Amino acid sequence: MEFETVIGLEVHAQMLTETKIFCSCSTKFGAAPNSHTCPICLGMPGVLPVLNKKVVEYAMKMALATNCAINPTCEFARKNYFYPDLPKGYQISQYAYPLAEHGWLELEVNGGKKRIGITRIHMEEDAGKLLHDEHNPVSYVDLNRTGVPLIEIVSEPDIRGAEEAADYLKRLHEILVYLEICDGNMEEGSFRCDANVSIRPKGQKEFGTRAELKNMNSFRNVQRGLEYEIKRQQYIVENGGTIVQETRLWDDAQGVTNSMRGKEEAHDYRYFPDPDLVPVIVDEAWIGKIRADMPELPQAKRERFISEYQISAYDAGVLTSEKALAGYFEEVVAICAKPKQAGNWLMGDVMKFLNEDKKTIRECPITAASLAEMINLIDAGTISGKMAKDIVEEMYQSGKNPREVIAEKGMVQITDEAALAKTISSIIDANPQQLADYRAGKEKLFGFFVGQVMKATQGKANPQIVNDLLKKMLAK
């Protein structure tokens, strides 16, 4: 039997605000446990939450970036459940009236475009964190994360495979980071994904029963988790079993998913409007202000790079994968006007050095102006491409500009024809046998002469000029 996979993703993204969503505690990661807490986020009786306006604005940015309609009025609701990391006994979230709905995100699928529907984007608070003692049967609770602002982005069940799911996530992640509303750090939990997955026989209209996967903290793990889960479900169905609706945990070490609990239903949470918070009213003027403040988004930038700089879709994809990298590339091109070369040097040597040092482009010791200058020096024939490889490495190590490196290392290419002709003459004189053999038809010896010239000039001779001169002088 042939199966089709159906996936819908729920993404939680932590908003990059200084303070929490309903109190003025810091959102900084990594502080001493419970040091970023106050009576509000600790859930003391009698306190009242006050909404952080920045959270609404950040969420609005994401809504606009994913083509959602922002509702004129939205409301916070209490999602009731008990857990030790949730001191109030409920999470403030949005339920019946979310901030935004009916959006979509475009993916490139097999050379074409595919839209993945976005059901809704809502705001909510994060819960705390439990720390389990490895040696003693005790657990600790850290409430620093309690009340940290999140948005939840829920997709329609439009995704049709594990790879497509990873791709969708990468696009979402890229947009959040471009908008500078989320740091995107998956390991610290700033970007988390629950994946709902089911299978159905090809051609069947109704969806199958889904499992919800949790605990995947990288794009790769989301893909691996889904791949495993799809196989597991197929195996069950092919062997006459039925899938149960449940929440399953991805076990990275074992590479399997394990049942965690039966799936709870929305009505189990007894959602109701939070009486401590007023509805949020978003008018057109506010939306207009946020829209005016939106940066160019990754996909638009990619398309512009392809048409404006005449670079390949692949190169445009790499160069726009990070806003700062795209900015650096444009700075280089603004000076040297050689996009293809700029892209190659950036994606080749420069990114290799940065990756080795686990540095980002923001920390790159080579300024855009220096890289542009180096490209201009190659173009002018002052240095060869081969020399440039050494020069760029030295520029990276020392932070010096190419002229300084060239001056220090005496790396200027020899383009003086008269000087090169003199060198060639003496090489010819010193190798009469090779000359005779070459003239007798042993053309392979041409390479021998090139090698001798390069040796004599320590590799600094301009290869094109050497080539032309040798052709002339050996033929004489």
- Name the residue nearer to Zn ion (CB basis): 26 or 367: 26
- Tokens for 393, please give them: 């490495």
100 binds ligand ADP (CB under 6 A): no
Return the range that interacts with Mg ion (CB under 5 A); candidates 8-16, 26-34, 299-307, 421-429.
Answer: 8-16
- Name the residue nearer to Mg ion (CB basis): 208 or 298: 208
157 binds ligand ADP (CB under 6 A): yes
Number of H helices, E strands in the chain: 16, 16
**CB-based burial label for 46 (10 Å; 0-12, 13-18, 19+):** exposed
- Tokens for 212, please give them: 């919800």
| Cα torsion through 271, 276, 279, 280, rounded to 10 | -110
Number of residues that bind Zn ion (CB under 5 A): 5
7 binds ligand ADP (CB under 6 A): yes
Number of residues that bind Mg ion (CB under 5 A): 1
**What phi and psi, each to the nearest 5 degrees, are found at residue 225?**
-60, -45
Return the range that interacts with ligand ADP (CB under 6 A); candidates 79-87, 165-173, 196-204, 370-378.
Answer: 196-204
- Where does residue 94 fall: left (phi above 0), alpha (psi -120 to 50 degrees), or beta otherwise? beta
Contact partner, 411, from Mg ion, Zn ion, ligand ADP, none, Cβ < 5-8 Å per class:
none
Q: Binding residue for ligand ADP (CB under 6 A) from 66, 71, 198, 223?
A: 198
Contact partner, 23, from ligand ADP, Mg ion, Zn ion, none, Cβ < 5-8 Å per class:
Zn ion
143 binds Zn ion (CB under 5 A): no
94 binds ligand ADP (CB under 6 A): no
C-beta of 7: minimal distance to ligand ADP in Å?
A: 6
CA distance linking residue 469 with residue 164, whole number of Å: 56
Q: Binding residue for Zn ion (CB under 5 A) from 15, 23, 92, 420?
A: 23
Q: Binding residue for Zn ion (CB under 5 A) from 25, 127, 282, 371?
A: 25
**What phi and psi, each to the nearest 5 degrees, are found at residue 173?**
-60, -45
C-beta of 117: minimal distance to ligand ADP in Å?
A: 8
C-beta of 25: minimal distance to Zn ion in Å?
A: 3
Angle between helices 284-292 and 53-65 (to 10 degrees): 70
Closest CA to 59 of 146, 121, 126, 148: 121
Q: What is the end-to-end Cα distance of the chain in Å, rounded?
A: 76
Question: Which residues of the shown chain bind Mg ion in the complex (CB under 5 A)?
Answer: 10
